[in-house]
Chains A and B, each alone.
Chain A
Amino acid sequence: METILEPFGFEFFRNGLWAALMVGTLCGLIGVFIVLRGMSYIGHGLSHAAFGGAVLGYVINLNFYVGAGMAGFLAAVLINQLSKGNKIKSDAAIGIVTTAFFALGVALISRVRQFTKSFDAALFGNILGVSTIDLLIIAGVLVLTILAVFFLYKPLLFSTFDNEAAKVFGIRTELIQLVFSLLLAMSIIASMNVVGVTMIAATLVIPASTARLLTDSFGRMLVMSAGIGAFMGVAGMYSSYQFDAASGATIVLCGAFIFCCVLLFNYIRDRLDNHEHMHSHGGMVHSHLHHHEDEHDHKHSEQTHTHDDGHTHTHDGHTHSHEVDEIKQK
């Protein structure tokens, strides 16, 4: 028990845990829109651009968040401008712009080698890298995001579902897109030190995708995704301490494990709902694909069977009950 509770005695761990809880919730919330809008690649790209900006900012004595934020904003503008024409699609524009920013960061680090250690946290996430300022910034972005999602729920839902129709119905889709882009950029920059640039995309996508497997309702997906994100953040941060591994990696691994469990659960549930039973009636053994809903009874439609002895007969529809294993002839 002492070993389990041991890390909670350290302030750095408690800070890291709070940060992971908030980052998980934040990425879970924003991730729903990322996944449903098919924007997974932009999350990955923006975090890389922000990293380049953070390194550049460090070189010219700018605050980490200012450098990362400016690079993220500039990258978003450049991607938008590049993909406006017909020749370069947005995924190519994201690839060009954000990788160029990331490359700038890597080039600066390799040029001045003493920086290398300082940016490990930004690349892979670090339990030790969470300061009180980081906590305050993450909390601020989380509160802002929760408020935006709450009060802009309707336009966000409509424009995510069908942007073209939303525009016709009077939703200010361009404003909503702008607000969303700002929230995304802020979330990525706030999460960088905890999850790491290389892992952010997965932190955004895994909770939302897992929630999508569990529900067909948008509202429930939002709540579930935030919950799954929070859980994977806490579990990942705890594992990071126990296994002495980078927090970004352990958080993503926890998320991937949860996703696989849900996938398996869905598979088993589907198999149980739609499966074949062997039946024996009238001296004939056969199987059908069944769908189980509220009750276990199911009906056979008219069918023709050929028996081993060569004679063929037709059923005119009857009902089985597996529990009592008897055939109620209609």
Chain B
Amino acid sequence: MIRLTDVSAGYKKNPVLTHLSLDIEEGRFAGIVGPTGTGKTTLLKTILGSHEVHGGSVEVMGRPVRSLAPGTIGYVPQLETVDWTFPVTVEEVIMMGLFAKRTYWPWPTKSEKSQVHALAEKLGVGQCLHHHIRDISGGQQQRVFLARALISNPRLLVLDEPTSGVDIKTQHDVLHLLQSLNKDGITILITTHDLNAVASHLPWVICFNKTVIAQGKPDDVFTEDILSKTYGGDLAIIRHDGHLLIAHNAKNKHRH
């Protein structure tokens, strides 16, 4: 589904990714984890084709990413980057997912409207279509942006930090929703800082720190060695009753 071969990207004088190669199979629901400032967002933007690449190739579904038709990849930005004061309703935000169609008429067609309404109903935001985006809950906001990404029926869905800035219940709901979308056949790639959410909800994890440290099932990848290489230590792994918990290792920090 996604193939990066010998990719270098970032700033010319200060490249963030150098000679990176990565394969992500079709049908995966994968989470990219790693410390802040190690290139997760650059990697995501490279896969989306919105970031200039200085070397190597980026292919999605066997084709160079920049040659893909608009809407082939669905994208959900970090909610923290959204301008919540912008005068726009839930319906208008979802409709934006169809804007790449080369139609110059400003009003949506009947079929576009019914498409938006059906998807909004499916994702549980049908009752707030005419609300301003600021006037709905955090969970609904996440679903609205998910609907915008899904409206063009993409086969690959990319989400930047979908679990950040929302409460634990919303986080749980969002990850379950993504699981069900993945079961419907959509390949999903997310970045996150929440290792425990990855451990409990995601079947595949990619540990990233300027390069791919490891990828595989959370049970196999979340080892002290790999996490130490990814985060530089201070993480403890607790296995309890079949569950995996990752915690900050305070003991190590205070060891002299």
A residues apposed to B, CB below 8 Å:
36, 150-155, 157-158, 160-162, 164-171, 212, 215-221
Pairwise interchain contact B99-A169, C-beta atoms closer than 8 A: yes
- Assuming the contacts A154-B99, A161-B96, A218-B92, asked whether A168 and B87 have C-beta atoms less than 8 A apart, the reply is no
Complex Cα gap A150–B93 (Å): 18
Q: Is the CB of B87 within 8 A of A154?
A: no
> Is B88 part of the contact surface with A, judged by Cβ < 8 Å?
yes
Structural contact, A170 and B88, CB atoms closer than 8 A: no
**Is the Cβ of B92 less than 8 Å from the Cβ of A157?**
yes
Judge if B77 is at the interface, Cβ distance under 8 Å. yes
> How many Å lie between the Cα of A165 and that of B45 in the bound state?
10
Q: Is B73 an interface residue (CB 8 A)?
A: yes
A168 lies within 8 A of B89 (CB): no
Least Cβ–Cβ distance between A293 and chain B, in angstroms: 13
A168-B75, A171-B70 given; 11 more Cβ-contact pairs under 8 Å: A153-B106, A154-B96, A154-B103, A154-B106, A155-B99, A157-B88, A161-B88, A165-B77, A166-B99, A169-B99, A221-B87
Asked if B104 contacts A164 (CB within 8 A), the reply is no
Instruction: Please give me the residue from chain A that is nearest to B82 by CB atom.
Output: A162
Contact of B100 (CB < 8 Å), options: A36, A162, A170, A212: A170
- Residues on the A chain within 8 Å of B82, using CB: 162
A162-B83, A218-B87 known; A171-B99 Cβ under 8 A: yes
A-B interface, 3 closest residue pairs, ranked by CB to CB distance from nearest: A170-B70, A170-B100, A153-B106
List B residues 75-119 near A (Cβ within 8 Å).
75, 77, 81-83, 86-89, 92-93, 96-97, 99-100, 103-104, 106
**Which A residues are in CB contact (< 8 Å) with B87?**
36, 212, 215-218, 220-221
B54 at the interface (CB under 8 A from A): no
Q: Complex formed: what's the CA distance from A166 to B93 in Å? A: 11
Bound CA–CA A215/B88 (angstroms): 10
The A-contacting residues of B in range 156-173, CB under 8 angstroms, are none
Nearest chain-B residue to A221 (Cβ)? B87
A216 to B134, CA, bound (A): 10
Q: Is B201 an interface residue (CB 8 A)?
A: no
Q: With an 8 A cutoff between CB atoms, is B48 at the interface?
A: yes
Q: Which of A164, A165, A171 has the most CB of B within 10 A?
A: A165
Q: How many Å lie between the Cα of A155 and that of B104 in the bound state?
A: 9
Q: Given contacts A216-B87, A216-B132, are A168 and B73 in contact (CB under 8 A)?
A: yes
CB pair A169–B92 under 8 Å, yes or no, is no
Quick one: which of B71, B89, B100 has the most chain A CB within 10 A? B100
Asked if A157 and B48 sit within 8 Å, CB to CB, the answer is no
Q: Does B180 contact A (CB under 8 A)?
A: no
Q: Which residues of A contact B132 (CB under 8 A)?
A: 216
Check B233 for interface membership: any CB of A closer than 8 A: no
Chain B CB count within 10 A is highest, among A154, A160, A221, for A154
Q: B252 to chain A: which residues have CB within 8 Å?
A: none
A-contact 0/1 string along B184-214, CB 8 Å cutoff = 0000000000000000000000000000000
Please report which residues of chain B, range 37-80, place their CB below 8 angstroms from some CB of chain A when the two chains form the complex. 48-50, 69-71, 73, 75, 77
Q: List 27 A-B contacts (CB under 8 A).
A: A152-B104, A153-B106, A154-B103, A157-B88, A158-B96, A160-B86, A162-B77, A162-B82, A162-B83, A164-B50, A165-B75, A166-B99, A167-B50, A168-B50, A168-B75, A169-B71, A169-B75, A169-B97, A170-B69, A170-B70, A171-B99, A171-B100, A216-B89, A217-B92, A218-B88, A219-B106, A221-B87
Of chain A, the residue at the smallest CB distance from B152 is A169
Q: How far is the CB of B65 from chain A (nearest CB, A)?
A: 10
Q: Name the B residues within 8 Å of A169 (CB-CB).
A: 70-71, 75, 96-97, 99-100
Query: Residues of B contacting A153 with CB < 8 Å?
Result: 106
**Nearest chain B CB to A157's CB is how many angstroms away?**
7
When the two chains form their complex, are residues A151 and B104 in contact, meaning their CB atoms are under 8 A apart?
yes
Pick from B48, B82, B87, B100 the residue with the most CB of A within 10 Å.
Answer: B87
A189 to B82, CA, bound (A): 33
Inside 8 A of A221's CB, which chain B residues have their CB?
Answer: 87
Q: Inside 8 A of B50's CB, which chain A residues have their CB?
A: 164, 167-168
